[in-house]
Amino acid sequence: MERTKTEVRDWLIVARQRLERVENPALEAQLILGAVLDQPRSKILAHPEWELTAVQLDSLGELLDRRLAGEPLPYILGHWEFFGLQFKVSPAVLIPRPETELLVEHALSWLAKNPTRRNAADVGIGSAAISATLLTRVPDLQVTGIDTSFAALEVAKFNLAAQGVSSRAHLVQADLLSACRGPYDLVCANLPYIPTDTLSGLEVFQKEPALALDGGMDGLRLIERLLADAPRWLASAGLILLEIEVGQGETAPALARSYFPEADIQLSTDLAGLPRLVSIESK
């Protein structure tokens, strides 16, 4: 019996219907199709008449089933965009999010104003989205990337190489900056900041690594440990950038002031007007 032909347009219609419960079913269907065909969305949309092979249809069915089972789309695709760059992602690392671009923007601004300050650390490097982005835009920057997870460091290593910046990055498996002496001019930290009791009620629970999400009872456990150790490795007039949870707009700056009473401490909000970043510029 001859197999009925399935064209791109037909598959997209069915996929959108199956993905109706996700936020943007049309976009997700196109991205999944692009991953299987190894083609950009623009080319797929320009050729709705393309016929899909039996092998491609089997692969597409498998990926749709994984998405419908709740697996995050970036893990299914194996990559995700951040600050205009593509990064490999896996369940070993947190998925790069748009709100973290605020931290990168502040870091780039500070580095531009301080052209002689070029020794940085990325604490909890994960996929290396922060480090690789900074390194691609500041050609004389040196970054030490730290993570407790060896699997995460393997992903970071791949992404740094893919962006062509490995020669200026040094990866360390350690607990915060315990194995590093510095001094560091700039320290970027997107540490786990979700309170333990809050985490279990979030969509990311058991889908992304708990090691990269769970910040302890108040969400500030690791941030406090980092700040307590800062006098040992922070350069004079150095800058610490901390991404925080939206409910920490008062507690996180207060914690920073308790360790840096003389520093310039600023709270920045994201595009939604929510507290997202604490900057600490030491004197």
**Mean pLDDT score across all residues of the chain:** 94
Q: What is the pLDDT of residue 243?
A: 97
Going from the N-terminus, what domains does the chain have, and what CATH number goes with each?
Answer: 8-70 (1.10.8.10), 82-281 (3.40.50.150)
Model-wide pTM > 0.75 = yes
pLDDT at res. 210:
82
CA–CA distance, 134 with 168 (Å, rounded to integer): 11
Burial of 185 from C-beta contacts in 10 A (0-12 / 13-18 / 19+): buried
Q: Is the pLDDT of residue 283 over 90?
A: no
1 — pLDDT class (breaks 50, 70, 90):
very low
Q: At 206, list the tokens.
A: 């058991």
Interval 101-142: pLDDT, tens: 999 999 999 999 999 999 999 999 999 999 999 999 999 999
In the chain, pLDDT over 90 holds for what percent of residues? 87
**Distances in whole angstroms, Cα of residue 28 to Cα of each of 17, 22, 42, 117:** 11, 8, 14, 41
pLDDT tens across 186-225, in order? 999 999 888 888 877 877 877 888 888 778 888 899 999 9
